Amino acid sequence: RVNQDRLMKGIHDTCEWGKGERYGEAETETGMSRLSLSDTDKQARDWFHETTTALGCKVHVDAMGNQFAVRPGLNNDKPPTYAGSHLDTQPTGGRYDGILGVTAAVEMLKVLNDNWVETAYPVGVVNWTNEEGARFPMSMVSSGVWSGDIPVEKAHNLKSVIPANDTATMKSELERIGYLGSTPCSWESTPMAAHFELHIEQGPILEAEQRRIGVVEGVQSYKWFTVTVKGRDSHTGATSFQHRADALLTASQMILASHKIASKHGALASTGILNLRPGSTNTVPGWVQFSLDIRSPVDETVNKVEEECKAAFSALASGDNILDIMTGCTPSSRHCSVDWRTDFVSPATHFHNDCITCVQQAGADLCGEEGGVKDKDIGAWGKFMTSGAGHDSVYANKRCPTSMIFVPCRDGVSHNPAEYSSPEACADGANVLLGAVVRYDKL
């Protein structure tokens, strides 16, 4: 069993680097703002390196800055079974997303050492770079390069989402903070026997159903787009509605249309970034660009929502009142243009049965019940789940057996400073992670 206090100390000590907004009085009631490859991310990486080295691991860094710490086994002619996640956060993120997965994996190393456990094969801990996609807008990009799905040049050349303030690319930042490793970033250079990832659920289900552990069977499908709407800059006081090509009014309709279309299909569509030009109170914006994130457990549904949004956005740009909301307004005689760019595609993922079983058995063991048969008789302690969020496990799963463990988080809140999981929930998850890795090693 893990040491709960030590685990929590690991989380909160490392959260000194990149501390974010305060949301409560207690010392640890602040969020996190540790964007990938920032100075504070470097501090967290240095901690990872020093701590795992001190625990007897050999650590290497690849061309995407992914850090791999390996604890030898009795037999080292097979690749390690890995546990891990990521240390970067959202700009206004919390203390658990990613961080719990890495610190629990480090805690696993400590438990193995404390108990003189010799695993059959090596065991590893991994910290993946820029999982969030919050600074460089492809989520899980570095596990994606590792799996061979994303070309390393494309990843290296990714620019910050705020080019006006942050002109860095991933490569320039990797160089700047000293984490452009010499190992090629690939599953061939750094092979894995399996990949286990502990994560907070980031949704409300486990808490609502009072379950301790989510046994994650897969991850829903998603696509990210950048939509650009072009109209015409004009004077807000001297230009009648009829003479405008208002890119923001049009973009507002598009955001509502995407919400309606996704609702109809039981899918999600969200806009998290919106920029406009020129940005003056008395100028109708002639240029608006926004992100669109479409998700559903079914690939086909994501594609349908994308197609319907494309048709709807074209109609809206041409001035068609397809939402009927402009009824009663003078139609504009000038129209906007719309352009789509696909930034990221992550099809639906189904994890490996062996790993799912290891997680289920470790959960049942922790919670004092027999692990039932998958999909049928899991105890009241757990639930089989599909992740709404993407994780590095999606790409890991392409090259090695993979599964994930979810623990409840308060009110389902994530990507928010107030994100919170209780110490007991964190320890539950860390115990299942430890149990699953040891089980897989035996397997």
Ligand X SMILES: NC(=O)NCCC(=O)O
**Shortest distance (Å) from residue 345 CB to a copy of itself:** 13
Interface pick for ligand X out of 153, 282, 373, 376 (rule CB under 6 A): 282
Using an 8 Å Cβ cutoff, are 215 and 234 in contact?
no
Q: Which stretch, 65-73, 209-217, 289-297, 367-375, contacts a copy of itself (CB under 8 A)?
A: 289-297
Contact residue for ligand X among 10, 133, 137, 379 (CB under 6 A): 133
What is d(CA 127, CA 103) in angstroms, rounded to the nearest whole number?
10
**Structure tokens given for 294:** 């479409």
Q: Is 277 in the site for a copy of itself (CB under 8 A)?
A: yes
- Tell me which long-range contacts 255-264 makes (C-beta under 8 A, separation of at least 24): 255/290, 256/323, 256/325, 257/309, 257/312, 257/313, 257/316, 257/322, 257/323, 258/292, 258/294, 258/305, 258/309, 258/312, 260/323, 261/305, 261/308, 261/309, 261/312, 262/294, 262/305
Member of 257, 389, 407, 438 binding ligand X (CB under 6 A): 389
Task: Note whether 283 binds a copy of itself by CB under 8 A.
Answer: yes
Q: Rule CB under 8 A: is residue 175 a binding residue for a copy of itself? A: no
Q: Is 126 in the site for ligand X (CB under 6 A)?
A: no
The identity of residue 138, as a single letter, is M
Amino acid at 328: G
Is position 233 an interface residue for a copy of itself (rule: CB under 8 A)?
A: yes
Residue 349 contacts a copy of itself per CB under 8 A: no
Report what 295 binds from a copy of itself, ligand X, none; CB cut-off 5-8 Å by kind.
Answer: a copy of itself
Give residues 391-430 in contact with ligand X (rule: CB under 6 A).
Answer: 391
Binding a copy of itself by CB under 8 A: which of 34, 86, 415, 439? 415
**Chosen from ligand X, a copy of itself, none, partner binding at 391 (C-beta under 5 to 8 Å by type):** ligand X
Q: In this structure, are residues 440 and 195 in contact, taking their beta carbons and an 8 Å threshold?
A: no
The C-alpha atoms of residue 88 and residue 106 are separated, in whole angstroms, by 16
Q: Which residue has the tokens 């046994």?
A: 215
Stretch of residues binding a copy of itself (CB under 8 A), selected from 54-62, 141-149, 327-335, 433-441: 327-335
C-beta of residue 351 within 8 angstroms of C-beta of residue 329: no
Contact 314, 240 (CB under 8 A): no
Residue 242's Cβ-count burial label (10 Å; 0-12, 13-18, 19+) is exposed
DSSP 8-state code for residue 169: B
Looking at 76-84, 308-316, 384-392, 425-433, which segment touches ligand X (CB under 6 A)? Answer: 384-392
Q: Where are the beta strands (DSSP E) in 335-418?
A: 337-346, 349-350, 382-387, 402-407
CB 337 within 8 A of CB 230: yes
State yes or no: residue 204 binds a copy of itself (CB under 8 A). yes
Q: Is residue 210 near ligand X by the rule CB under 6 A?
A: no
Q: Does 132 bind ligand X (CB under 6 A)?
A: yes
Q: Which stretch binds a copy of itself (CB under 8 A): 49-57, 141-149, 317-325, 425-433?
A: 317-325
Least Å from the CB of residue 236 to ligand X: 6
In angstroms, what is the minimal distance from the CB of 321 to ligand X? Answer: 28
Selection from ligand X, a copy of itself, none that 178 binds (CB < 5 to 8 A by kind) is none
Q: Which residues bind ligand X (CB under 6 A)?
A: 97, 131-133, 139, 235, 237, 282, 389-391
